[in-house]
Amino acid sequence: MRTTVRLVSIASLLGVALVGVASAQGIHNIVLVHGAFADGSSWGKVIPILQAKGYHVTAVQNPCTSFADDVAATQRALDLQDGPVILVGHSWAGVVITEAGADPKVRGLVYVAAFAPDQGETVGELGKAYPPPPVLAAPIADKQGFLTLGPDAFEKFGSDLPKADAHLAAAVQVPINASAFGAQVSNVSWKTKPTWYVVSALDQAIAPDEERFFAKRMKATTTELRASHVSMLSQPKAVAAVIMQAAARAEVVSDAAPAH
């Protein structure tokens, strides 16, 4: 699959939005999976854009109690879909969709500033080759081993959001069990499914170069935004445009290109 990289703004992507209009030829089911330190509302600005174009959208509510539990929650959402699906994951959810994307309903994967591990890799180990992320400098751990981030960390998490929006995101975050970051996938769906990747060039939670590494390795169609870790909140139209492109193109790409 040919990889293309574009440094774009919201305005430049609006022109391609028409390719994502849900139709008989395209995929109309979109399943969105949130990352760590978040909940389904992190997709709240993308969902209405997709729905206005006729897509059936489901936002998974990950329990974040374990990798297996998050995969199970995503699988339940996939089981409810009435046909082919574009599966989208942000941040930690890249690990989840890499595993859950093996479901035959999933025809394409979209990674939004997300981890994309291969077999034998963990999130913690992957990050060691890159500078320590400022967002994770001082996570708050409870007695059960669940992690949260304080409001100050969320100002880095969403550095291009109004401070009030960053603090709102902090208030609704779901704590994640730290053990999840040591999980390994048994399925690597990006090796067999068409992939798209949205790199956040201003990311302070995952190193932008790490995101570029994932995108290059999976030969993803890649869009780079001057955005923080939460581009779906700061640039929802741009992120929605990539998802719609995947919905319009996944079946065509899958038929035309060999597996990775």
Identify the CATH number of the domain in which residue 24 sits: 3.40.50.1820
Site of tokens 């854009």: 49
Is 198 within a domain? yes
Strands in 176-177's sheet, in edge-to-edge order, are 140-141, 146-148, 176-177
- Count structural domains, the chain: 1
Q: What is the CA radius of gyration of the chain?
A: 17
**pLDDT of the residue at 11:** 38
| Model confidence pLDDT, tens digit, residues 195-219 | 999 999 999 999 999 999 999 999 9
| Mean pLDDT score across all residues of the chain | 90
Q: Which of these, 251, 93, 106, 108, lies nearest to 185 by C-alpha position?
A: 93
The answer as to whether 260 is a domain residue is no
Residues of the domain holding 32:
5-255
CA distance 244 to 28: 9
Cβ proximity of 28 and 251 under 8 Å: no
Identify residue 56 by its one-letter amino acid code: H
Residue 117's pLDDT band, with cuts at 50, 70 and 90, is: very high
Per-residue pLDDT, 26: 86
